[in-house]
């Protein structure tokens, strides 16, 4: 049978619909947004095409730049927490007996079957002052107090004061980690699953302990999975606007909320576009550098 990749006609047929889709609904809108970002807002919120850098100048004003930096910061924290929480889970699934793998993976993706909005609202019910978490803590507090009373120290812990868990940065991070955890676990699991176990055995065989094997062999070998999972979580977290909107406080405005506001309530599409591209430019630069490094590496390998 002929290799379909070598047959240009077949290649075009298979690739055509996807390319067309991407072109029509991704590339063209992206170009439109880019063009808008140099435009001007009309008095009624219309968008006039122009060649103005006004929007970009506004975007780097301290208040907007601050929100951008905070989004990156919160995105980074969420990614780090996802890694710490997700790595053991991915490892647990990858090293589980094979008949357990699929059920465990199903549990990881199960939350996707419920609407994101509902799941995020559910966190409000958990975290708010009179929410499930505080109820649980109150119960523990009460029992502890009762125990202390038994031991002869009545009211040693004092009155229970509910924790302020909602409407702050922590709630945002908790929400972002919760929503994006599967995006880290799945690529990481896929990489761990493919990893040849004999690398780990070889490390143990050569005298390394479990921790040494983890950091010197396992982590470097699954780095591609870590990077793709972390990148996915970081990008999704940074641009998320639903979670900060529902769980965040007044100081939890993230870049996604800002853009949504400019496109929505403020009816300032050019400024919203400029804000969007302020995030896109670093991503573009990252990809260009990445491609250059990859090309350099292949060339160097070919020379050896």
Partner 1 sequence: MTEQAPIIRVRNVTKRFGSVTAVDDVSIDIRQGEFFALLGPSGCGKTTLLRMLAGFETTSEGEIEIDGQPMLGVPPNRRPVNMVFQSYAVFPHMTVFDNVAYGLKVTGVGKSEIAERVKEALTLVHLEDFGRRKPDQLSGGQRQRVALARALVKKPKVLLLDEPLSALDAKLREAMRLELVHLQHSVGITFVIVTHDQDEALSMADRAAVMDHGVVRQVAAPATLYEHPNSRFVADFIGKMNLLEAKVAGLSGGRLAIDIEGLERFEVPHDGPASGEIGIAVRPEKTRLSKEQPAAGRLGLKGKVSDVAYYGNESHILLDTDTGVRFTTTIQNETRRSDSSILIGDDLWISWSPEDTLVLSE
Least distance between partner 1 and beta carbon 187 (Å): 19
Considering the complex, state which of residue 40 and residue 193 has its C-beta at the smaller distance from partner 1: 193
Cα(162)–Cα(128) distance, integer angstroms:
9
Considering the complex, state which of residue 44 and residue 198 has its C-beta at the smaller distance from partner 1: 198
Considering the complex, state which of residue 15 and residue 206 has its C-beta at the smaller distance from partner 1: 206
Considering the complex, state which of residue 108 and residue 208 has its C-beta at the smaller distance from partner 1: 208
The SS3 assignment for 47 reads strand
Considering the complex, state which of residue 100 and residue 112 has its C-beta at the smaller distance from partner 1: 100
Cβ partners under 8 Å of residue 55, min gap 6: 37, 38, 39, 270, 271, 273, 274, 275
Considering the complex, state which of residue 61 and residue 303 has its C-beta at the smaller distance from partner 1: 303
Considering the complex, state which of residue 6 and residue 301 has its C-beta at the smaller distance from partner 1: 301
Residue numbers of the site for partner 1 (CB under 8 A)? 196, 198-199, 201-209, 212, 216-217, 220-221, 301, 304
Residue 48 DSSP symbol? E
Considering the complex, state which of residue 221 and residue 242 has its C-beta at the smaller distance from partner 1: 221
Least distance between partner 1 and beta carbon 107 (Å): 25
Least distance between partner 1 and beta carbon 191 (Å): 13
Query: Got the DSSP string for 77-144?
Result: HHHHHHHHHHHHHHHHHHTS-HHHHHHHHHHHHGGGGS-HHHHHHHHHHHHSTTSHHHHHHHHHHHHH
Cα(56)–Cα(60) distance, integer angstroms:
6
What are all long-range contacts of 40-47, with beta carbons under 8 Å and residues at least 24 apart?
40/270, 41/267, 41/268, 41/269, 41/270, 41/271, 44/267, 45/267, 45/268, 45/269, 47/269, 47/270
Least distance between partner 1 and beta carbon 213 (Å): 8
Least distance between partner 1 and beta carbon 257 (Å): 41
Q: How far is CA 173 from CA 128, 159, 183, 226, in A?
A: 15, 29, 15, 19
- Give the pair of three-digit tokens for residue 259: 């853009």
Q: Give φ, ψ of 141 to 5 degrees.
A: -60, -45
Least distance between partner 1 and beta carbon 229 (Å): 18
Cα(226)–Cα(189) distance, integer angstroms:
10
Least distance between partner 1 and beta carbon 160 (Å): 48
Least distance between partner 1 and beta carbon 287 (Å): 23
């Amino acid at each position: 049978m002929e290799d379909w990749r070598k047959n240009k006609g077949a290649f075009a047929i298979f690739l055509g619909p996807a390319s067309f889709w991407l072109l029509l609904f991704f590339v063209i809108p992206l170009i439109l947004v880019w063009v808008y970002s140099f435009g001007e807002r009309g008095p009624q919120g219309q968008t006039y095409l122009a060649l103005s850098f006004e929007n970009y100048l506004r975007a780097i004003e301290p208040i907007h730049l601050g929100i951008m930096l905070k989004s990156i910061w919160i995105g980074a924290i969420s990614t780090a927490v996802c890694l710490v929480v997700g790595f053991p889970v991915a490892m647990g699934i990858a090293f589980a007996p094979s008949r357990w793998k699929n059920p465990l993976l199903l549990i990881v993706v199960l939350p996707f079957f419920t609407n994101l909005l509902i799941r995020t609202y559910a966190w409000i019910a958990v975290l708010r002052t009179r929410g499930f978490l505080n109820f649980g803590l109150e119960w523990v507090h009460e029992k502890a107090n009762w125990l202390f009373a038994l031991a002869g120290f009545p009211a040693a812990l004092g009155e229970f004061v509910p924790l302020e868990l909602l409407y702050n940065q922590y709630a945002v991070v908790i929400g972002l980690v919760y929503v994006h955890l599967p995006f880290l676990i799945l690529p990481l699991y896929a990489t761990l699953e493919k990893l040849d176990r004999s690398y780990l055995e070889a490390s143990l065989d050569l005298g390394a302990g479990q921790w040494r094997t983890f950091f010197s062999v396992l982590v470097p070998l699954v780095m591609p999975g870590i990077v793709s999972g972390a990148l996915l979580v970081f990008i999704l977290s940074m641009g998320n606007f639903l979670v900060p909107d529902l769980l965040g406080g007044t100081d939890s405005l993230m870049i996604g909320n800002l853009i949504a506001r400019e496109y929505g309530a403020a009816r300032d599409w050019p400024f919203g576009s400029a804000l969007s591209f302020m995030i896109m430019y670093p991503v573009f630069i990252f990809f260009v550098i990445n491609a250059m490094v990859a090309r350099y590496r292949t060339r160097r390998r070919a020379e050896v």
